[in-house]
Structure 1
């Protein structure tokens, strides 16, 4: 089955390159440029429109919507809600990245509001964020997962992902040392990546953007989530090998280089997928 998943990921990559899906990102100003460039690198087309006067119209012509609350503010919340509802109306996939959920009452209330008013297709977050949304005890380190939450074992992470996927009726992707993706029935662990990815801001945001690109090119959102996360993990490994002795700046640029050069042979040779 793992080989079949990898095969589907490769096919979906070809679909992204052929279809060039338009991905509407209502994201944060810290990582917006990286999210746009990572989508261009994979072969998708990004658009960043967060004003209420046009956000729903932009969603209407897009193939996927990515909502990211990294730099949350009152102005963009309205755009997120109307765009999410428009996406639901038109059966456009919605990716939600609940950056920093659990860190503040404001952020927590908006996370709840988004989940109540929008049908999310893919939820991607770190362990602290996903534990908070699951109603479990969690601690955050700003927008990063806390060390205590990151020590959650794979078995606990699998159970959390499966239960939340069933509760929200969506794909849940938990990214960390080991990535876990579940639709409530099928669950996989992905073991690509490097610790260096946590030293570059925005790699989680870029993963969510990539998921949007893959889901915008196909109808299998489970595979779309896996494809986005595998691509980022492999890109991190490739970039680290080339930039290890140079530094973080080169590593960051190397991630985009690696995504732009991603192909089926690289994925088949490097993907580490374990079906649960």
Structure 2
């Protein structure tokens, strides 16, 4: 069942509560490296993931989903065609432009997909700069720029698409045409686990079923910050952290998210 609302949910706590009540079906066209972790993260959070990325089915499935993720981590020819189908279905969707910039196939596809107006673009600072045409990209999937340096690029992409752009980093920055929010904190161990950032994009897609794009991106960033901090506090390294992070996503209560959005201001 598709569950959507046009009303803004003012806090991450409200968004998390709404997601768990709705258990939204979330289509993930994502990269082969992170499929299992992404699915487990969405299940732990309270959503219902489906990795439907076959041309001829992707568009149909997007039509019955609450939110769609298009992650360009391993963009095979089949996945590229599936992504084009899915974004044409009219369901709110997230673009995760993994490693765009120096790599031509994914970069061309990411810029093509901008014309389909993603509700949210989520990436690191170097990816956002490259997608906006003002940077060359990072070192593979690793950023070489800071979120603050990508703020103008993020705003330009938000204006172009009419959506929200979330720049991940030590402090996540979320912008649309009028608003800016910052979510600080989180654990650096997220960068040592395959799929930490990609699963964040999937969480944003799930939250699109119950919240506006800006609120969905802000809520997901706050959820990731709190759950990763709680997981890191009781683990010794990335292996145990990955398991603990899933546990903390499942155990997270809406009240744990209060006060995690540092500021939100009109432009």
Q: 1:6 to 1:113 in 2, by over 3 A?
A: closer
Among candidates 254, 263, 266, match of residue 274 of structure 1: 263
* Superposition deviation, residue 272 in structure 1: 4.4
2:62 is aligned, of 59, 63, 85, to 59
Partner of 2:143: 145
1:120-139 equivalent positions in 2, closer than 5 A = 120-139=118-137
Unaligned runs of 5+ in 1: none
Per-residue CA shift, 1:188-224, capped at 9, x if unaligned? Answer: 1110212221111211101101111111123x11111
Q: Is the 8 A contact 1:157 1:180 kept in 2?
A: no
Query: 2:100 is matched with which residue?
Result: 101
User: Which deviates the most, 196-205 or 23-32?
Assistant: 196-205
Shift of 1:160: 2.7
Match runs of 1:39-118 below 5 Å: 39-86=42-89, 88=90, 92-116=91-115, 118=116
Q: Is the 8 A contact 1:20 1:217 kept in 2?
A: no
Query: Do structure 1's residue 238 and structure 2's residue 260 form an aligned pair?
Result: no
SS in structure 1 opposite 2:99? coil
In the alignment of these two chains, the number of paired residues is 258
Tell me the distance in 2 between the aligned counterparts of 1:254 and 1:184.
36
TM-score (norm 1): 0.89
TM, length-normalised to structure 2 = 0.92
For the aligned residue pairs, the C-alpha RMSD in angstroms reads 1.6
Segment of structure 1 superposing worse, 196-205 or 123-132 = 196-205
- Cα distance in 2, alignment partners of residues 139 and 119 from structure 1: 21
Q: CA deviation at 1:230?
A: 0.9
Which residue matches 2:3? none
The alignment partner of 1:103 has SS state of coil
Say whether 1:36 aligns with 2:34: no
Which residue is equivalent to 1:213? 206
In the alignment, the residues of structure 2 paired with residue 189 and residue 180 of structure 1 have an alpha-carbon distance, to the nearest angstrom, of 5
C-alpha contact (below 8 Å) 2:218/2:261 kept by paired residues? no
Question: What do residues 14-71 of structure 1 show as CA deviations (whole Å, max 9, x unaligned)?
Answer: 1111110000001011001111111111111000111112111111111111100101
Alpha-carbon shift at residue 7 of structure 1 (Å): 5.5
Q: Secondary structure at the match of 1:242?
A: coil
Runs of 4+ in 1 over 4 A off after TM superposition: none
Structure 1 residue 233, shift from structure 2 partner: 1.2
Larger helix proportion of the pair: 1
